[in-house]
Amino acid sequence: MDNTEILHKVEAVFRDVLDDEEITLVTTTTANDIEDWDSLTHVELVRAVEKAFDIRFTSAEILAWKNVGEMVESVARHKGYVA
């Protein structure tokens, strides 16, 4: 699985959690780009992504993310998709 495939799966999670089929994610997407993405929803999104990929992020990882692309890269590292 490459980062593009991970991004599509993350996008599906965002659409489900935020109940919005119109959401389109790119690697530079941030919470400022999605109206319903607030701090409480962020926790829900992180948990849903962890569940979707059967992984667990560290607090430090989550706090370091600046955009969706960095979340995707974390998923790839946890799943061993990067060298």
pTM for the predicted model, two decimal places: 0.94
Mean pLDDT of 19-33: 97
pLDDT of residue 70: 97
pLDDT of residue 81: 87
The amino acid sitting at 11 is E
As a whole number, the mean pLDDT across the chain is 96
Mean pLDDT of 31-36: 95
